[in-house]
A and B are shown apart, each in its own frame.
Chain A
Amino acid sequence: MSRRRHLLRYLASRVALMPLMLWLIASLVFLLLRVAPGDPIDALLGIRAPVEARAALRQQLGLDQPLLVQYGHYLTDLLRGDLGTSLTNNEAVTAVIRDSLPASLELGVVALMLATLVGLAVGFSGIARPEGKLDLGGRLYGIGTYALPPFWAAMVMQLVFAVWLGWLPVGGRFPTTLVPPEGSGFYLLDSTLNGNAEQFWGALRHLVLPASTLGLLLSGVFANALRLNLRRALDSDYVEAARSRGLSERRVVLRHALPNALLPVLTITGITVASLIGGALLIEVTYSWPGVAFRLQEAIGQRDYPVVQGIVVVVAALVVVVSVVVDLLVALLDPRVSF
């Protein structure tokens, strides 16, 4: 069978498995939420409402129905593309996701760009003198940023740049007194398209701290991955052969070693992108960034079943799609990969 047919077969199998995977995830989330003690009424009213009032509210929200009936309704709605409405404010779950997903994606994309830039720079910087000071510094940077607890790093950044220096806002996504730009929900993009500089700078200022924190924390992984793979590539026979043909060192590194060293980095990028779709929980919470993870964390606390279920299912679907795309990209770039 040709490589192209293998690839198509792989793609078809992943697409065919997707509904099954989503059904499993949806069912698991549904079950886990109900198995946990406490329900939305306990979360909303705590102990303040009389027993009868709590029972009445449970009935009003359909939480008194047998689990199987609730599950049936949930699956039927899901098949129709209806993710339900929030139990706390009756807002459609699709609207909740529509409002919060762009925030997470905007943060994720900018953080990833920063992580790639810094990671590649740090990973690249040590190759001239292996085991030299620069190389050692790069390794320490990689391990250090990987090991830092995200909430701690975020709080330190917050303290230094927002509280002590007063350069940047403490949290949130947009200046309090400005009206956010209308459009796609990606504020940088929307304000650029609207040609509104005040909105753009406002959005950028709020993005800098969370994106930098997340980007720097992720960059260590990229740095270490590039450093190791580049070192391995530079020690390989084909690089030796290129050097012996008299090619310049620049050409050897950039044309021969780097493309091969970047393939594992691409896989790591794919995994990182997939994980960032669901938001960077600790970063979003620390910076009050109204993304998917922030909303999910709130919904879990409130036992807002439809919101939790909706977010998990949508994010899971996106993660599956992204991981397939990354697999295909790697396969296209690396002829050694087979399916």
Chain B
Amino acid sequence: MPDVLTLSLLVRSALAALVPALALLPGCQPRHPASELVVATNSTVASVDPVDITTLAGMQLLSAIGDPLYAADAKGQLQPRLATALPKLSANGLTARIPLRQGVQFHDGTRFDAKAMVFSLERFRALGKMGYLLDDRIRAVRASGPYELELQLKRPYSALAALLSSINLTPLSPTAYSQHRERALADRFVGTGPYRLARKSPQKQTLLPFSNYWGPATRNQGIHLVSLSNSTALFGALVSGEVDVLLSQGIESDQQKALAERARRGQLVEAIGPAVEIGYLTLLSNRPPLDQPLLRQAIALSLNRALISERVSYGIRAPLRSLVPPPLAGSEPPAWPSYNPTEARALFRKAGYCQGRRLTLPLTFRSNVPADKLFALTWKAQLERDLRDCLQLEISGMESTTAYRQLEQGAFPMILLDWVGDYPDPDIYLLPMLGCQKVQGSRCLEGNAAAAGSFWSSPGLQKQLEDSERLEGLQRQTLLQTIQRRTAAGAAYIPVWQVAPRAWAQARLEKPVFDGTGRLVLQALSDR
């Protein structure tokens, strides 16, 4: 059948012609101007309205187009930003006055003043998905002068400035949002930040410098924030030069290690920010067998954090023995004991195990978080090696949202979770896990500790937590350490590791800088 063969040859020739065509495509690759930088992460941004934003990627974007009243610097110290000084508190601590910066403009050219700040805070309280940040603390907001904000607090709160550093509380132009007082505006943003939002889709946001910005000018001519959905794509995009800066969120540990090695060889520049995310185990303390404090303490002693950190993340997730990540107040010295299999065995024996009786304990991990699964597998293997006759783990995975819903029902004897503080203060790490409105002995019947799945409390702990909200300085630090020591003794929570954000930039760029909340300072990105 020569004719047919000729036909097939023709088709194959046509296919072969596609190859050179494909080879031509790279030549058509559009190059972005060198002064505009492409920054990649793994999360999409569905909305740019502060009332909608709950994700780290959204907050990263907000930090470039908005300004908070206060901001934590790289050392974790709070500095006034749109405020000009720290809050002045009344004698009873229930009224705070905040002087505001003058001469600040919104991206639409209108003036920033106390009324605009009141508008934004009221709107956030009414619509904010994270409105609880203010609801629990603030009774009322008003403008006590053209450039002075007055807050009525529900109870004294020494970390008010830290709370007001939350980027979701960034001011918005009342003029631009006049039609959106009662509903969110997902695809436009008019704030006061160093960049204005030029274009936005969930996967891509273009930021251009705001020429009337009150602060230092940006060191680049624009930022393109892009989202790629998987770790390999993000890694590949940086290596191939398609993106200029890559954020570590969503990058697998082995790829993070490879990027760090490239940075060591001078092919990339690596920056590490302060850890704001912690990983911890929650133990169900109100039901057997973990209602025995001895057993919980034994489990805490049996966790070889250093080994697990190395095996799971090549040491990238640093071992943590405190619920508050350093350098926040109360994080040092670590309250939880370090790995001690001998002491763990002694406690297991005291509880009636290790003598021909082995404790079998279910451990749940979030199946959609790769590091969690690796943790579960590694810890199980470590226990098999070190405490085989005392403790055995039965590990199982569950999708995170499904797991969150079942926490308050006491569904998990032991589960690995993580926590990211909404603002840089110890309270935001302790209260959500330890707060309890109704305590019975060492059980929490109602409150955060019950919702968090541990159901653990201790007489007087809630009072200490409330006191820590009022105190400042060394007094507060001492009390925070006491709270952590008590929590460590209760061992219903076991901190495992802390996750510091990282960024890798092309070698031609300056080393990226993080602020005190672990966000990349986009306006500081520039060529060498």
Q: Nearest chain-B residue to A248 (Cβ)?
A: B3
On chain A, the residues within 8 Å of B206 by CB distance are 177
Contact with B along A98-122 (1 / 0, CB 8 A): 0100000000000000000110110
Given A124-B7, A177-B224, A288-B229: A170 touches B237 (CB 8 Å cut-off): yes
On chain B, the residues within 8 Å of A246 by CB distance are none
Q: Nearest chain-A residue to B226 (Cβ)?
A: A176
Task: Check B227 against A50 for contact (C-beta < 8 Å).
Answer: no
- Give 23 pairs: A residue, B residue, CB < 8 Å, sorted on A: A37-B406, A47-B407, A47-B417, A47-B452, A48-B419, A49-B132, A50-B448, A88-B52, A89-B46, A89-B49, A91-B47, A91-B186, A117-B14, A127-B1, A159-B236, A163-B236, A169-B29, A208-B25, A253-B4, A285-B229, A288-B228, A301-B368, A303-B401
Task: Check A250 against B4 for contact (C-beta < 8 Å).
Answer: yes
On chain B, the residues within 8 Å of A303 by CB distance are 401
Given A47-B451, A88-B52, A163-B236: A286 touches B230 (CB 8 Å cut-off): yes
With A and B bound together, what is the CA distance between A34 and B364 in angstroms? 23
Contact with A along B222-243 (1 / 0, CB 8 A): 0010111110110111011110
Given A124-B11, A128-B5, A288-B229: A48 touches B448 (CB 8 Å cut-off): no
Q: Is A205 interfacial (CB-CB < 8 Å)?
A: yes
Task: Check B228 against A171 for contact (C-beta < 8 Å).
Answer: yes
What distance in Å separates the Cβ of B453 from its nearest Cβ neighbour in chain A? 8
Task: Check B23 against A167 for contact (C-beta < 8 Å).
Answer: yes
How many chain A residues touch the partner (CB < 8 A)? 71
Q: Nearest chain-B residue to A138 (Cβ)?
A: B8
Contact with B along A66-94 (1 / 0, CB 8 A): 00000000000000000000101111000
Q: Which of B23, B199, B228, B368 contacts A179 (CB 8 A)?
A: B199
Q: Nearest chain-A residue to B406 (Cβ)?
A: A37
Complex interface residues of chain A between 41 and 56 (CB less than 8 A to chain B): 42-53, 56
Task: Check B405 against A39 for contact (C-beta < 8 Å).
Answer: yes
Task: Check A166 against B25 for contact (C-beta < 8 Å).
Answer: no
Q: Is B422 interfacial (CB-CB < 8 Å)?
A: yes
Contact with A along B18-51 (1 / 0, CB 8 A): 0000110110111011001010000010110100
Q: Which of A46, A198, A290 contacts B400 (CB 8 A)?
A: A46
Q: Which of B23, B132, B201, B236 contacts A50 (CB 8 A)?
A: B132
What distance in Å separates the Cβ of A325 from its nearest Cβ neighbour in chain B? 28
Task: Check A172 against B129 for contact (C-beta < 8 Å).
Answer: no
Pairs A-B, 5 closest by C-beta atoms: A53-B132, A250-B3, A89-B47, A38-B401, A163-B236
Q: Is B184 interfacial (CB-CB < 8 Å)?
A: yes
Q: Is B467 interfacial (CB-CB < 8 Å)?
A: no
Task: Check B233 against A177 for contact (C-beta < 8 Å).
Answer: no
With A and B bound together, what is the CA distance between A120 and B11 in angstroms? 9
Q: Which of B186, B204, B239, B403 contacts A89 (CB 8 A)?
A: B186
Q: Is B130 interfacial (CB-CB < 8 Å)?
A: yes
Task: Check A170 against B15 for contact (C-beta < 8 Å).
Answer: no
Task: Check B135 against A53 for contact (C-beta < 8 Å).
Answer: yes
Contact with B along A146-183 (1 / 0, CB 8 A): 00000000010011001101111111111111110000
With A and B bound together, what is the CA distance between A57 and B131 in angstroms? 9
On chain A, the residues within 8 Å of B230 by CB distance are 285-286, 288
On chain B, the residues within 8 Å of A202 by CB distance are 28, 30
Q: Is B432 interfacial (CB-CB < 8 Å)?
A: yes
Complex interface residues of chain B between 170 and 187 (CB less than 8 A to chain A): 183-184, 186-187
Complex interface residues of chain B between 235 and 291 (CB less than 8 A to chain A): 235-237, 239-242
With A and B bound together, what is the CA distance between A9 and B23 in angstroms? 52
Task: Check A168 against B451 for contact (C-beta < 8 Å).
Answer: no
On chain A, the residues within 8 Å of B392 by CB distance are none
Given A42-B405, A88-B46, A198-B30: A51 touches B3 (CB 8 Å cut-off): no
Q: Is A294 interfacial (CB-CB < 8 Å)?
A: yes
With A and B bound together, what is the CA distance between A158 and B36 in angstroms? 25
Task: Check B422 against A48 for contact (C-beta < 8 Å).
Answer: yes
Task: Check A163 against B1 for contact (C-beta < 8 Å).
Answer: no
On chain A, the residues within 8 Å of B187 by CB distance are 91
Q: Which of B32, B135, B451 contacts A176 (CB 8 A)?
A: B32
On chain A, the residues within 8 Å of B33 by CB distance are 177
Q: Is B203 interfacial (CB-CB < 8 Å)?
A: yes
Q: Is B404 interfacial (CB-CB < 8 Å)?
A: yes
On chain B, the residues within 8 Å of A240 by CB distance are none
Given A48-B419, A205-B25: A155 touches B232 (CB 8 Å cut-off): yes
What distance in Å separates the Cβ of B378 from its nearest Cβ neighbour in chain A? 24
With A and B bound together, what is the CA distance between A45 and B55 in angstroms? 9
On chain A, the residues within 8 Å of B311 by CB distance are none
On chain B, the residues within 8 Å of A204 by CB distance are 25
What distance in Å separates the Cβ of B41 from its nearest Cβ neighbour in chain A? 11
On chain B, the residues within 8 Å of A178 by CB distance are 30
On chain A, the residues within 8 Å of B132 by CB distance are 49-50, 52-53, 56
On chain B, the residues within 8 Å of A120 by CB distance are 11
What distance in Å separates the Cβ of B483 from its nearest Cβ neighbour in chain A? 18
Q: Is B402 interfacial (CB-CB < 8 Å)?
A: yes
Q: Nearest chain-B residue to A294 (Cβ)?
A: B229
What distance in Å separates the Cβ of A254 from its nearest Cβ neighbour in chain B? 8
Contact with B along A26-39 (1 / 0, CB 8 A): 00000000001111
On chain B, the residues within 8 Å of A176 by CB distance are 32, 38, 204, 224, 226
Complex interface residues of chain B between 351 and 368 (CB less than 8 A to chain A): 368
With A and B bound together, what is the CA distance between A133 and B129 in angstroms? 64
Task: Check A290 against B448 for contact (C-beta < 8 Å).
Answer: no
With A and B bound together, what is the CA distance between A33 and B400 in angstroms? 15
Task: Check B54 against A288 for contact (C-beta < 8 Å).
Answer: no
Q: Is A298 interfacial (CB-CB < 8 Å)?
A: yes
Q: Nearest chain-A residue to B234 (Cβ)?
A: A170
Task: Check A172 against B405 for contact (C-beta < 8 Å).
Answer: no
Task: Check A163 against B239 for contact (C-beta < 8 Å).
Answer: yes
What distance in Å separates the Cβ of B407 from its nearest Cβ neighbour in chain A? 6
Q: Is B408 interfacial (CB-CB < 8 Å)?
A: yes
Contact with B along A129-156 (1 / 0, CB 8 A): 0000000000000000000000000010
What distance in Å separates the Cβ of B366 from its nearest Cβ neighbour in chain A? 10
On chain B, the residues within 8 Å of A201 by CB distance are 25, 28, 30
On chain A, the residues within 8 Å of B228 by CB distance are 170-172, 288
On chain B, the residues within 8 Å of A208 by CB distance are 22, 25
Task: Check B4 against A128 for contact (C-beta < 8 Å).
Answer: yes
New A-B pairs, 5, CB < 8 Å, besides A37-B406, A50-B432: A52-B132, A124-B8, A177-B206, A253-B3, A288-B233
